[in-house]
Amino acid sequence: MRAALLAVTASAVLLAPAPVAAAAAAPTPVAATEAATGAAATGAAAAPRAVRCPRVPAPAMSRPPRPSPPPAVPEARVVGGAGLATSGLVMPIGAGTPPAITATSWLVADLDSGQVLGGCGPHEYGTPASVQKLLLAATMMPRLDPAQTVTVTAADMNIEPGSSAVGLVEGGRYTIETIWLGLLLNSGNEAANALARLGGGSDGAAGGVRAMNEQAHHLGALQTHAVTPSGLDGKGQFTSAYDLALIARACFAQPTFRRYALTQQATIPAQPAQRTKGFQIQNENQLIYRYPGALGGKTGFTDLARHTYVGAAERDGRRLVVTLLGAEPAPMRGWEQGAALLDWGFSLPRDASVGRLVEPGELTATPSAAPSALAAPGPPRPAAASGPAGTGSGWLWSVVALSGAGVLALLGGLLWHRRRRLPGHIDNEPRHP
């Protein structure tokens, strides 16, 4: 009994939100308040009642069945605060109602303070589509030298016919910066394959996907599991709106990513040996053209995921990020839903909070739970040689191991003190005018 109590205590210490300035004055989450009120009325503990998220009806259309999510891991659902463990709406008391959208889950957070301003099912599993390319960027951008020239291989070009491609050619030689721009502006799936291979070490693309999963765990994104580097659908590939916010925050912390995200157009150079001409590409994220203060982001779409979106903007010195999953393009496109949620977030007081984004490494701070050296950012290095494509593995066990290792380590500390982790569907993102 004593050991069980200590284990629960250790888990709570590991996952509880850290104190923040003005926390006493910060608004209380709606879901948490309703739970507390119910508990007081009954004299017993009560589970939070899910508050229905404002939604507009999605247009009727034929959609494939959504993939079944993995088993819920309770510890992962309370990362960032117990108020976030809801399938419904969580927002500060007194806040205006968020806009009604079609997304099945979403989250708005402050990029700088890490405070979560509100969300709908922030820890509900969803399929990422091309917003998964942000995890690739968070993992590989600090490791690859953007000035290095590399050769695109046949394996890099192995993408589904009709899926998003920037137009690289087998045998073509491009700088890594050009490949990054192809990835982030045009969502090139062949660019994603190349970058995963180049950053994956001796294991090539398989090593790249494995590194993405290790980086996700390092960031605290315990509900994220990558199977493909591009976000093309793969069995067991999931994320959550909360996890995407952690990943986006890591991306926007990098000056190079911020520059790429705001780049409106770039040139893909000619390849004389392959007899291809150069051409220009344009940034497909409409937020950067139509939303004042936009910082950029990423769009996504697959048949299974539907529309997904990550976007960020700055207003009056305040930088917010929005993430959303499972949206439909009518009556508002994904970026427009994101813009509406950003407007709602900017309308809230600066101290508004219903939780927080955990810091990188916070949930894996013990030696036994630390990710491998591959997940730790380092200086740019030469790109690795080509390797076989593949996927990461052992995700659910990794999540359990990370949570369990942290609990065991803290349990040991407490005792010492007493005694002194569907086959691919086309990612064919709509091209906007």
Considering only CA atoms, which of 208, 187, 183, 189 is closest in space to residue 197?
208
Would you call 130 a catalytic residue per the annotation? Answer: yes
The answer for residues whose C-beta is within 8 angstroms of residue 373's C-beta and 6 or more apart is none
Residue 52 buriedness (CB in 10 A; 0-12 / 13-18 / 19+): exposed
Token reading at 81: 């605060």
Alpha carbon distance 243, 357 (integer Å): 9
Q: Rounded to whole angstroms, what are the CA distances from 320 to 88, 317, 344? A: 21, 10, 11
DSSP class of residue 71 equals: P
The answer for residues whose C-beta is within 8 angstroms of residue 116's C-beta and 6 or more apart is 80, 81, 84, 107, 108, 109, 122, 242, 245, 353, 354, 355, 356, 357
Would you call 393 a catalytic residue per the annotation? Answer: no
User: Which residue among the candidates 11, 87, 130, 163 is catalytic per the annotation?
Assistant: 130
Token reading at 180: 């990054």
Token reading at 93: 């008391």
Would you call 202 a catalytic residue per the annotation? Answer: no
Q: Which amino acid is at 130?
A: S
Phi-psi region for residue 86, left (φ > 0), alpha (ψ -120 to 50) or beta?
beta
User: Which residue among the candidates 163, 164, 187, 240 is catalytic per the annotation?
Assistant: 187
- What φ, ψ does residue 303 adopt, rounded to 5°? -60, -40
Strand partners, 106: 120, 324
Dihedral sign for Cα 318, 319, 323, 328, please: positive
Q: CA dihedral defined by 304, 116, 392, 136, rounded to 10 degrees?
A: 90
User: Which residue among the candidates 11, 87, 133, 240 is catalytic per the annotation?
Assistant: 133
Residue 131 buriedness (CB in 10 A; 0-12 / 13-18 / 19+): buried
The answer for residues whose C-beta is within 8 angstroms of residue 416's C-beta and 6 or more apart is none
Residues annotated as catalytic are: 130, 133, 187
